Amino acid sequence: MFASTPSRRVLLSWLLLAIAWWLTGAIAQAAEPGQRAAFRLAYAAAQQGGTGWQAPAAALRDYPLYPYLEAAALEHDIQQIDRVTVEQYLTQYPDWIPAADLRRDFLRELARRQDWTGFRALYQPGLGDTLACDALQARLAGGDALNFDADLAALWAKPDLPDSCAPVLDAAHDQGLLTSARLWTRIDRAADAGQPGTIASLAGWLPADERASAQQLALALRDPAAALTSAASWPDTPRARHAATLALTRLARRQSASADSAWQQLQPHFSFSEQQRNAVLYALALFHATDFDDGALARLIALPAAAQTEASREWRVRVALARQNWTAVLAGIDAMPASQQQEGEWQYFRARALTALGRYEEAHRQLAAQAGNATFFGFLAADRLDQPYAICPLSLADDPQREQALLARPGLQRAFELYAVGLPKLARREWSQALQGADQSTLRVAADLANQRGWYDRAVFTFSSGDALRLYDLRFPLASQDGLVPQAEQAGVDPAWAYGILRAESAWMSDAHSGADARGLMQLLPETGAAVARRHGLDWGGGDTLYDPAINIALGTRYLAELAERFGGSAWLASAAYNAGPNRIDQWLAARGSLAPDLFVATMPFKETREYVARVMAFSVIYDWRLHGKAVSLAARMGAIGQPYGRPNGTAPHRVVACSAGAPSAAPAATSSTLSASP
């Protein structure tokens, strides 16, 4: 090996860069718009099965995504293809994501066919509970017996199992492996996880004298009110006490007053343990608090120390805030553990309480400590002090060598191409696989590369902690190509607020899909999108069009305008309605509508909605700064309930943005090579 002289090192560096640039050029050449268009056509054909995809794909043999085409056709024809065809694909593309999907899906098909020989030939452990149970069925079909510890223990520990496990559990029962002790272990685990179906399915295998106890547990989960009605006739046994405790705590969540009455009736009947009593007292206190009932504060204060949690302590403060009992607010915050007291929300409300009690110097120090944070409570604190907002941006330092090295990774090439051709879900999977185990510096460079290609959600998810939170240009992108600013202006809403909603709803994932069927960037339900389109005379092409950013934003901004109009122009109340629904906001306003905005937000019963409003309003400030270099104050954005409110304009109070002396320094040594302070 030659000695490494400086000139040779320089030459080697230039050579490596030249190779990297050549590779990048080759990648770019392989991803010409014409090829992407051809791939989209071929992929649509492949999803119909057969060989029709091959003609439009004739010129794509060297295209990075070519194997996705054959896999799509095979997936469509999964019920007709044979094992040889699948094995050929798996052999050709052994480490590819579509190969893993094809293996998993064909194994399910082989199980459906009950081709257990073929199944055992293709099966690999670690493919999920459904296939794990299918694999046990394959062994049973081959005449093997089950071993509980080797075959079932891991599955048995789960409170719920897929249907494919039923024949395996039947076989285990027939072999005498499901002893009463083992059955109760799983029943208790299912009870703790709230799985009454699992309990019911196992109860029949218990000895006759134990079945009623299992059925009581299942009833407590399914219908706690009915369980408590019959509980007075249950024997005072450990399992009956367990069922009664479950029913009481679950009913407290839904009907705290009814649970209270049942608790009073059942206390003399059951010898509840201290732990069970604490669980019931905790549930009653907590859910009376979320209803803001009379006596809720006293209940929370009186909770035994062993029954208290962070949630009960914070609700002690929220109830006190709802009553504007500032002495009780301070006492509640003082009762929190030190770590909880340091949270921004409680630091801010301590200052509010101190101000109300005339302890101005203490309040000023508390607010000053918060005002250095670019958060909801930091902005509120700065407004109270009439100070600039402390937004201290960082930027990523250039790292061309690492960029080129990443662009040469086949997995990342596939991720970028999948995103470019409109397959973001598959793109995210390739991204995760390509960057598995990567250090933070590498992830940051990769996220920046994605951002440059309009794939914004990668940066949002990557820059989620530490100093990376200050990479505002990457975490809060301004995607003009999606038309948000003109659409918001046409709808009559503040673009910064619309950006804040979008960022909080989807984190810029255009294909985001919630469990409630909300879709796209602004997470609209199809029925909402259809109704908004009808009211505003906009085209509507069905629910899937909500994945088109332009359509989603056009409808989303107009829905925001409708909510804002319903709530007197108030963006913060409309934000709450966007999350929890306008009817719930009406109920909360009827109960506590005289509160100041910050107190009203703090007393919203839903944690998700409280955090959502805080997030949206803070994001609105940051987006306003991103758009204009300064920001309408949060105090101006959060006008008093019932106060006429209009869209922020040039006359609205603004805050200048300045990086305060007390703000965090640049990145720590471990990551400072990839971050630099913005001028």
Closest among 277, 263, 209, 268 to 236, alpha carbons compared: 268
**Amino acid sitting at position 277:** R
Closest among 535, 569, 553, 583 to 638, alpha carbons compared: 569
Q: Kindly report, as residue ranges, where domains of CATH 1.10.530.10 are found in the chain.
A: 483-655
| CA atoms within 13 Å, Cβ hemisphere of 108 | 14
The reply to whether CATH 1.10.3720.10 applies to domain 483-655 is no
- Helical ranges in 223-374 per DSSP H: 224-231, 238-254, 256-266, 274-290, 296-302, 310-323, 326-334, 338-341, 344-356, 360-370
**Amino acid sitting at position 266:** L
CA angle 605, 608, 610 (to 5 degrees): 60
Tokens 């049973």 correspond to 140
| C-beta separation of 374 from 622 below 8 A | yes
Q: How far apart (Å, rounded) are the C-alpha atoms in residues 253 and 135?
A: 41
Closest among 410, 403, 477 to 443, alpha carbons compared: 403
Q: Which two tokens stand for residue 151?
A: 């075959």
Q: How far apart (Å, rounded) are the C-alpha atoms in residues 19 and 7?
A: 18
C-alpha R_g of the chain: 30
Q: How far apart (Å, rounded) are the C-alpha atoms in residues 564 and 585?
A: 12
What is the 3 state secondary structure string of 25-73? HHHHHHCCHHHHHHHHHHHHHHCCCCCCCCCCCCCCCCCCCHHHHHHHH
Measured distance between the N- and C-terminal CA atoms of the chain, rounded to whole angstroms: 45
Helix (H) or strand (E) holding 557: helix 549-566
**Predicted local confidence at residue 335, as pLDDT:** 97
Q: CB atoms < 10 A from the CB of 586, how many?
A: 14
439-470 as b/e: b if 16+ CB within 10 A: ebbbbbbbbbbbbeeebbbbbbbbbeeebbeb
Q: Which two tokens stand for residue 439?
A: 């250090």
| C-beta separation of 388 from 434 below 8 A | no
User: Mean pLDDT per 10-residue run, the chain (679 residues)?
Assistant: 38 38 41 88 97 95 96 98 97 97 98 97 96 97 95 94 96 97 96 95 95 97 97 96 97 95 96 97 97 95 96 98 98 97 97 98 96 97 96 92 95 97 97 96 96 95 93 92 91 96 97 96 98 96 96 97 95 97 97 97 98 98 95 94 74 82 39 49
Helix (H) or strand (E) holding 395: strand 394-396
Q: CB atoms < 10 A from the CB of 544, how many?
A: 11
**3-class state of residue 163 by DSSP:** helix
Q: How far apart (Å, rounded) are the C-alpha atoms in residues 177 and 205?
A: 11
Conformation bin of residue 395: beta by default, left when phi > 0, alpha when psi is -120 to 50: beta
CA angle 371, 377, 379 (to 5 degrees): 55
What are the respective helix, strand and coil percentages of the chain, to the nearest 5? Answer: 65, 0, 30
| C-beta separation of 222 from 215 below 8 A | no
Q: How far apart (Å, rounded) are the C-alpha atoms in residues 473 and 359?
A: 39
- Helical ranges in 142-255 per DSSP H: 153-156, 166-174, 180-192, 196-203, 208-222, 224-231, 238-254
Q: How far apart (Å, rounded) are the C-alpha atoms in residues 596 and 616?
A: 18
**Amino acid sitting at position 258:** S
Closest among 210, 218, 264 to 238, alpha carbons compared: 210
Alpha-carbon distances, residue 398 vs 161, 284, 402, 408, 444 (angstroms): 49, 56, 9, 17, 11
User: Which string of DSSP letters, residue by residue, matches 243-282?
Assistant: HHHHHHHHHHHH-HHHHHHHHHHHTTTS---HHHHHHHHH
Closest among 463, 343, 471, 393 to 663, alpha carbons compared: 393
| C-beta separation of 447 from 405 below 8 A | no
Q: CB atoms < 10 A from the CB of 569, how many?
A: 18
- Phi then psi for residue 233, to 5 deg, are -100, 0
**Amino acid sitting at position 128:** G
Conformation bin of residue 21: beta by default, left when phi > 0, alpha when psi is -120 to 50: alpha
**What is the four-CA torsion angle of 370, 375, 377, 378, rounded to 10 degrees?**
30
| C-beta separation of 131 from 107 below 8 A | yes
Alpha-carbon distances, residue 442 vs 72, 124, 402, 438, 462 (angstroms): 32, 31, 7, 6, 11
Q: CB atoms < 10 A from the CB of 670, how many?
A: 11
Q: Which two tokens stand for residue 551?
A: 């359509």
Q: How far apart (Å, rounded) are the C-alpha atoms in residues 17 and 432?
A: 26
What is the 3 state secondary structure string of 539-550? CCCCHHHHHCHH
Length in residues, the chain? 679
Longest Cα pair distance anywhere in the chain, in angstroms?
A: 91
